[in-house]
Amino acid sequence: MKIAIIGGGYVGLVSGACFAEFGVSVAVVEADAAKREMLLEGKIPIYEPGLDRLVADNVTAGRLAFPASLAEGIAEAEAVFIAVGTPARRGDGHADLTYVFAAVEQVVLTLDHPAIIVTKSTVPVGTGRKIAELAKKLRPDLPIEVAANPEFLREGSAITDFMRPDRVVVGTDSERAREVLRQLYRPLYLIEAPIVFTGLETAELIKYAANGYLAMKITFINEMADLCEKVGADVHDVARGIGLDGRIGRKFLHAGPGFGGSCFPKDTLALMRIAEEAGAPSRLIQSVVAVNDQRKDAMAGRVAAACGGEVRGLNIAVLGLAFKPETDDMREAPSLPLIHGLVSRGARITAFDPAAMAGAKPMLPPDVELARDAPQAVTGADVLVLITEWNEFRALAPAKLAGLMRGRVVVDLRNVFDPKAMREAGFAYHGIGRARQDATPVTKDSRN
Ligand SMILES: NC(=O)c1ccc[n+]([C@@H]2O[C@H](COP(=O)([O-])OP(=O)(O)OC[C@H]3O[C@@H](n4cnc5c(N)ncnc54)[C@H](O)[C@@H]3O)[C@@H](O)[C@H]2O)c1
């Protein structure tokens, strides 16, 4: 079977390489010439563990190609997947479907054979139906079917998520589309991954409902963390105590600085708008969006509070920039409001991230210094703020930090350090939702 994927970003590239690994012939059509050049040279424009190898193997095997023209890419393709971006539209939070409809129009006008258009992009309820109408209008001569196949992969573990998904969702009214997608995902039958077949609208809503629910779970534990700090409880233990209940589950109960990334922020906003417009507003999702926005904006103040209310003149080392570990994705990263907030309060920032520094640089205030590695970032720092839980940061020994830093304040926004070990090394340790928050030992003398 041959398929085409329009858009070679996180989702398009990972899906393309994984389908190729399943033995399908895949053409990934990427509009950005610079990205395409990189791909043709065997370089991967994004950081995703294992992807370079998977792409290289499948290109060598002749199953994965990056054609320059759309016509070449979709020639003989039984299914054309749309994997372009659907960012939040400025101003109103609706999903911006400009790229989706531009891609669909190009595909429909170029097709010379019947095909199935499959949305892998996250699209609002009703989009599949509109794509079908557009295809019929533009190409009444050609049978074009439509299916929604939302993607649930997580950046950082995208390949495993694609190859061993909890489920695959396919929404379509077309028996032919169902058959082609069933065939495409056949390798997953062996590992008994459930395939949920639904109508178009249902599949589209499943994606938003899943992300809305996960965002709500994170926001819930974040609020519990705030409560823990007030009442002398420990959010780690609260999360474990509730997460062991099978009805709740342990995942997504890690308190932190608020969610970011390429999906939750825009998808919760879009879900809020979809629900409002449908006349069934979701007050839960509205609250999730508002609470999370406030939380991200409040992190600079939290650091200031840990320093006795004032960060002016302090050297602050920020470890982590990407919105989560194992990715270089900076979209809506909580590090951005944190660093901008600290700089506007007069702090000097030295930051380090193992993968996201190039992408972060243009988004940061110009005087933020980027360090070569974590030890360099913390050298001479008065305060250490950890905001992305890369594994290499977990390994930083408190004694080593104490030897490199000038001050003794650690603000651990991901609860990765051992509070006891930190305190034994002489640090005032501030986690999230941990019962005991230290009084600050930063004195005016340590500022300059
Ligand atoms: N990133 C994730 O973890 C993730 C997970 C699940 C779902 N999604 C959804 O998948 C979709 C894509 O997300 P992403 O993170 O891969 O976006 P992305 O911005 O990384 O990639 C989109 C790519 O499409 C290309 N493109 C745009 N228009 C094109 C066209 N007409 N022809 C060819 N290429 C075109 C862009 O140049 C870009 O490289 C979004 O709807 C997103 O919500 C993303």
Tell whether ligand 1 has an atom less than 6 A from the beta carbon of residue 184.
no
Residue 121 Cα distances to 9, 30, 211, 285, angstroms? 11, 14, 14, 21
Does the Cβ of 35 fall within 6 Å of ligand 1? yes
Do the beta carbons of residue 403 and residue 428 sit within 8 Å?
no
Instruction: Choose one of 151, 269, 271, 324 to mutate for the ligand 1 pocket test, by most ligand atoms within 8 angstroms of C-beta.
Output: 151
Cα separation, 294 vs 438, whole angstroms:
24
- Please indicate whether residue 13, judged by its CB atom, sits closer than 6 Å to ligand 1: no
pLDDT value, residue 436: 63
For ligand 1, the distance from its centroid to the CA atom of residue 85, given in whole angstroms, is 4
- Do 240 and 278 touch, CB atoms closer than 8 A? no
Atom of ligand 1 nearest to the CA of 10: 16
In the annotation, is 263 catalytic? yes
The pLDDT averaged over each successive group of 10 residues in the chain (448 residues) is: 97 98 98 95 92 97 97 98 94 93 98 98 97 98 98 95 97 98 95 96 98 98 97 96 98 98 96 97 98 98 97 98 95 98 98 97 98 98 98 96 97 97 97 73 42
Q: Are 335 and 300 in contact (CB under 8 A)?
A: no
Q: Return the half-sphere exposure (C-beta side, CA atoms, 13 A cut-off) of residue 189.
A: 6
What pLDDT is attached to residue 445? 44
pTM of the model: 0.94
Interval between CA 327 and ligand 1 midpoint (Å): 15
**What is the 8-class DSSP label of residue 186?**
G
Neighbouring residues of 21: CB distance < 8 A, sequence distance ≥ 6: 54, 57, 58, 63, 163
- Please tell me the predicted confidence (pLDDT) of residue 446: 44
